[in-house]
Structures are given as C-alpha cells and as structure tokens.
Chain A
Amino acid sequence: MGYAWNWSVLLSATPSGETTFLGWLLAGLQWTLGLSLAAWLVALIIGTLFGVLRTVPNRWLRGVATTYVEIFRNVPLLVQLFIWYFVLPELLPSTWGSAIKQSDPLMQQFIAAWLCLFCFTGARVCEQVRGGIESLPGGQRNAALALGLTLPQTYRQVLLPMAFRIIVPPLTSEFLNIFKNSAVASTIGLIELSRQAQQLVDYTAQPYEAFIAVTLLYALINVVVMLAMRWVEATTRFPGFVGGR
C-alpha cells in the first residue's frame, strides 16, 4: 500500500528530548491504569451497596438505588464526564468552584474522570450484584433468616458470598470495560494511553505503528485482567460449586 513502516520511531526521542515516544506511551499507560483501578475500587464498593439495596424489602431504599442506576445508565458516558468536569464546578458554591478552577488542571481532569468512571461503572456493578442475588434460590434468604440471622448478617454471610461467585464472569467484563472507558478522559485533556497515541500520530506521522502499539498495550491489560479474575475465580471456588450462568 505504499506505507513506509518505521517501528524504530517508537524508540526515537520526543521533541522535548527527555524520553522516547515509547516512554510517552508508558506514561499514558500509567494514567490509564491509575485512573481505572482507583475508579474500579470505588465502583465495587458503591455497586455492592446499591446492589444490595435494590433487593432489600424496604421500598424506599430500593427506590433510591433504582434512581441511581437509571440515571447513570441512561446518560452517555461522555455527557456524564462533561457534566462532572464543566458543570459541577459552576453549580457548587462559588468559593468552592473557584478553588477547583484554580487547582492543578491535571488534578481537575483526573478527579472529574475518576468521579465519572466510578459512578458510571458502579451503576453497572450494582445491576450485576442485584442479578446475582436474585439468581439465588429464594429459600436461601429464608433459611438464613429462619436460623435467626439478621438481614445484614444474611447478606454478609450467605447471599453476597454466593452472589459474588456467580457474577465473576460479568464482573470481569465490567472490569475490562473500565479500562476502555477511561479513554474518554482524553476528551477533557487527560494524557492517558489513547491520548498519547494521538500525540504520537501528530508528532511522528506514523499512525499505524502508534495504533498497533497502543492496541497491544490495551490487549495486554485485557490479558492481565482476565488472568487475575481467573485466579480469583479459582481461589474462591469450593467443592460442588457449578459456577457461572
């Protein structure tokens, strides 16, 4: 096709001279990993919390959790991100707002992207947790209650341990999604992996090398996450368990 391949470009120095283009990519990778992992941690916590709330007997608590899920599921990720980044500082009391605007821009971008990703992913985790709990035979809850366990104990000791084992596969794909979704942070200027790839193209005019390299890095993340989740699945398996759906 008349395209001049030049893989050595990855190892040549950047205009600032401090590092190579590959170094840029790796720096971007760090932001992608940091952002995604930080958001995943919180998403798991609030997803579990709201997922439990969606299955409790109290109608008001269920309503709160449903509202959360519907809002964050039905607005595009990009719109959510822009609202966190551009709208939130305006709506806060003006002293807070200006404090935010004067803070380090990188911090602003990171925090907006982090809030956005964990709220968005939390809603998805919530639905998985709810699905997991609902897929358990109804008798399990009754059996635990009949033994005198309180409702929180029933969730903690009986329902959640089983639900989590069942939902490892769908949780794995949510975990993978959060890395991919973190790429939207490039639209507000956070220099994560995919943004670095764009820079590379701009500076080197070698789009294929840049994109192949980045694709490989994302694929690497995928492989590591899948191995990690497989390990989780294996270590939490118990005899007689027929896993997954």
Chain B
Amino acid sequence: MIVYDKVSKWYGSFQVLTECSTQVRRGEVVVICGPSGSGKSTLIKCANGLEPFQAGEITVDGISVGAPGTNLPKLRSRIGMVFQHFELFPHLSIMANLTIAQVKVLGRRPDEAAEKGLQLLDRVGLRALADKHPGQLSGGQQQRVAIARALAMDPICMLFDEPTSALDPEMINEVLDVMVELAREGMTMMCVSHEMGFARKVAHRVIFMDQGRIVEDAPTEEFFGAPRSERAQQFLSKILRH
C-alpha cells in the first residue's frame, strides 16, 4: 500500500532522511519510534507529500507521490492524517470540521456529509459535541474528533504523528482505544508513537529510526524480544524503565 524506496531528504546541507526503504502492506499496522529529531515526522509527512523529498520514490496505492504530474490534493484526500497538536480548525464547529473537506474536496452534499460526520462522532463517542467549537473541547476529545475528521474521507490508509504525546496522561487511553479499534478493523496504519503498549497490542511491525536512517524494521515480537541494534536496545530500555 505504502512503499518507500531509498528516500532521502535534505534541509539545505543537513540530511534529515538517508535512503529510507520500507513498506506498509494493506491492513498492516506499523509503529515508528526513535529519539527526538531522528526524522520520524519527516518520514511520515513525505507519504502524503506534505514534505518534499529529493531522492528516492514513494508510492501510495501505486501512485508516485513525488512525480510532478501527481494530483496531490486528490491523493491526500485518500490518505488520512492525524497530528500531534490535533489541528482542528478553531473557527469551525466540530460538525463543520468533519464536513468541510467532504464537501469541498469530495463534492458530497452537505446533508450527506453531515450524516457521515454524525456517524463517526458516534463512533468516537462524541455525538453530543457536534455543535461545539474545538476550543471548548479537552485535548483527548479534540484528538478523537481529528481522527473522525480523517475517517470521514473514507481513507485507504491512516498516518498518525505522535497522536497522544500532547495529551494529559488520563486522556491518552481514550485516544488509543479508538486507534486500537481501528487497527482491529483492518485499517492500514502508519503511526509515529512512543506508546509501546499500543505497539505490542496491535502493531504488526515496528520501525526504529535514528539520525534519519531506518535502523531496525522488524515484526513486533522480534523487535521487543531481541532488538538487533544497540541504539534500539538503549532506546527501549530508556522508554520502558518509566
């Protein structure tokens, strides 16, 4: 579904990504972890063209992301993305947040879009908040709405960039629950996350990044059982000690 082939990226002379290759198959859940600044966000943003890259190729559902002729808005509308800081649109009501792209991008009728929106709000347990604005919601609620907003586009896969790292501890689980459910339903997911419990529970593979390289790319049990690289071992021991 998502294929990275020797992707490299530079900011000026600073190389953020070095020949990253991996793939996420249909229905697969892949968790990416690694120290801060290792290029996780950059890697995941390349998948929907939010960050351009200078070498290599990425294809999503057979479509090349970097090719000049690619209709990026169209491709992006088929890839859901959830951000660390939610990024709901603060001037729009929750319902409008859920419908705006359905109407403007997919050309759905407003009533159709609203129905879909309500369905998804139901699913994340927030139907009652449809008429509120994002500023009136807690962080966990906002992130669940953000997931619903992405799902409203009927995406073929989902990208998550540290969806729980800006949340207070007591709200992390309500978001993870939604993600676990999504994973169990067979959604193709690529998640940057340090929630190792979540990874153990649903991930098929774990990718470990360091200094712009994919250092380790292994099935979940293997990764947690016996990580091959020293850096990954250190990283895991630091994270798991807490």
State the Cβ distance, B72 to closest chain A Cβ, in Å. Answer: 8
Q: A238-B133, A240-B133, A240-B134 are in contact. Are A146 and B79 (CB under 8 A)?
A: yes
> In chain B between 69 and 115, which residues have their CB closer than 8 angstroms to a CB of chain A?
72-81, 83-85, 87-91, 93, 100-101, 104-106
Counting CB contacts under 8 A, is A161 at the interface? yes
- B48 interface residue per 8 A CB criterion: yes
Q: Which B residue's beta carbon lies closest to that of A156? A: B104
Complex contacts, A165 vs chain B, CB 8 Å: 91
Please determine whether A140 and B89 come into contact, CB atoms closer than 8 angstroms: yes
Set of chain A residues within 8 Å of B78, measured between Cβ atoms: 148
- A242 at the binding interface (Cβ < 8 Å): yes
Q: How far is the CA of A137 from the CA of B87 in the complex (A)?
A: 8
Residue numbers in A under 8 Å from B125 (CB-CB): none
Chain B 159-195 per-residue mask, 1 if CB under 8 angstroms from chain A, else 0 = 1000000000000000000000000000000000000
Docked Cα-Cα span, A149 to B88, in Å, equals: 14
Give A137 to B77 CA distance when docked, in angstroms.
21
Nearest first, the 8 A-B pairs at minimum CB distance are A240-B135, A148-B77, A143-B87, A147-B101, A146-B81, A148-B105, A139-B87, A239-B133
Known: A139-B83, A148-B153. A238 touches B91 (CB 8 A): yes
Question: For residue B80, which residues in chain A have a CB less than 8 angstroms away from its CB?
Answer: 146
Asked if A162 CB lies within 8 Å of chain B CBs, one says yes
A142 to B79, CA, bound (A): 13
Shortest distance from the beta carbon of B132 to any chain A beta carbon, whole Å: 7
Q: Which residues of B contact A137 (CB under 8 A)?
A: 85, 87
B149 on interface, CB distance cutoff 8 Å: yes
Q: Decide: A162 and B79 in contact? CB cutoff 8 A.
A: no
Q: Of residues 104 to 140 in B, which have CB atoms within 8 Å of A's CB atoms? A: 104-106, 132-137
User: How many Å lie between the Cα of A194 and that of B9 in the bound state?
Assistant: 60
Tell whether, in the assembled complex, residue A241 and residue B133 are in contact, meaning their CB atoms are under 8 Å apart: yes
Would you call A240 and B90 a contact (CB within 8 A)? yes
Nearest CB in chain B to that of A154: its residue: B73
A145 to B159, CA, bound (A): 14
| A–B pairs, 26, beta carbons within 8 Å | A137-B87, A140-B87, A140-B89, A142-B83, A142-B87, A145-B72, A146-B48, A146-B80, A146-B81, A146-B150, A146-B159, A147-B76, A147-B101, A147-B149, A148-B73, A148-B74, A148-B77, A148-B101, A149-B105, A153-B104, A153-B105, A157-B104, A158-B89, A238-B93, A239-B132, A239-B135
Interface of A toward B, CB cutoff 8 Å: 137, 139-140, 142-150, 153, 157-158, 161-162, 165, 238-242
User: Of residues B91, B101, B106, B146, which shows the largest number of chain A Cβ atoms within 10 Å of its Cβ?
Assistant: B91
B50, A142: Cβ atoms closer than 8 Å: yes
Query: What chain A residues lie within 8 Å of B106 (beta carbons)?
Result: 148
CA–CA, A145 and B52, complex, Å = 13
Other-chain contact of A241, B88, B91, B132 (Cβ < 8 Å): B91
B45 at the interface (CB under 8 A from A): yes
Task: Give B188 Cβ to nearest chain A Cβ, in Å.
Answer: 16
Contacts of B87 in A (CB 8 A): 137, 139-140, 142-143
Given A144-B89, A149-B101, A158-B89, also A242-B83 (CB < 8 A)? no
Tell me the nearest residue of chain A to B89, going by C-beta: A158
Beyond A139-B85, A146-B79, A146-B81, 4 extra complex contacts between A and B, CB < 8 Å: A139-B83, A142-B81, A147-B77, A147-B150
